[in-house]
Amino acid sequence: MADDSPVTLDRVDWQLLEHLQRDGRIAVAELARRVNLGPTATADRIRRLTDLGVIAGFRAELDLERIGYTVIAYVRLRYPSGNYRALHAELERTQELLECHHVTGDDCFVLKVAARSMRHLEELTGRLATLGSITTSVVYSSPLVSRLITRPQPGSASVER
C-alpha cells in the first residue's frame, strides 16, 4: 500500500520545486547554481523528490488553441448509478477529455473538455449525455490557468498549526 502522507520538505527542496514548476527542462547544472548546491546533490534531491511522489512527472504544456482546440468547456455530469465502467471507457477512448474529477454535490463528475469547434463540442457532450444528465459551461477566458505551489510562509493560513 502506498504511503500518501505529506512529505517534509526543507527550504532547498522548495526552491528546487519552484524552479522546476517554472521550467521543467532547466539543466541540473543551472538548477544547482540557482539553489547553491552541487550538481550531484541537486540531481539526488530531484531523484528523491520523484521517488517520494512529490514530483509526479515532467511534460510539455501545449497551447491548445495553436493545435486547433479552440473551445474549452467544463461539463458537469450527474451520473445515475455507482457503476462507472461506461464513464471510464469514454475517458479511455476520448482524448479531448482532458480532466475528470469525482466531486461532491449534485453532480458526480466535472470534466474539462477541449474541442475543435462548437459542433465538435456538441458531439462530445452528446456522447457524455448518454451517461447521465450534463451541464456544460464554455470557457470565455482563463485569467489563471495554473499557479506555482510555493513554500508556505509561517503564520499564513496554509500552514498547519
Mean pLDDT, the chain, as a whole number?
Answer: 93
How much is the pTM? 0.84
H/E run at residue 85 = helix 85-93
The secondary structure of the chain in percent helix, strand, coil, rounded to multiples of 5, reads: 35, 15, 50
pLDDT confidence bin for 153, thresholds 50/70/90: confident
Sheet of 133-138, strands arranged across:
97-102, 109-115, 71-78, 133-138
* pLDDT digits 0-9 by tens, 25-65: 999 999 999 999 999 999 999 999 999 999 999 999 999 99
Count structural domains, the chain. 2
Distance CA 6, CA 125 (A): 37
47 and 78 belong to one structural domain: no
Enumerate residues 6+ apart whose C-beta is below 8 A from 158.
Answer: 152
> Could you tell me if residue 160 is inside a domain?
no
Task: Give residue 71's pLDDT.
Answer: 98
Q: Which residue range(s) make up the domain with 23?
A: 11-51
75 and 127 belong to one structural domain: yes
> Could you tell me if residue 3 is inside a domain?
no
> Could you tell me if residue 126 is inside a domain?
yes
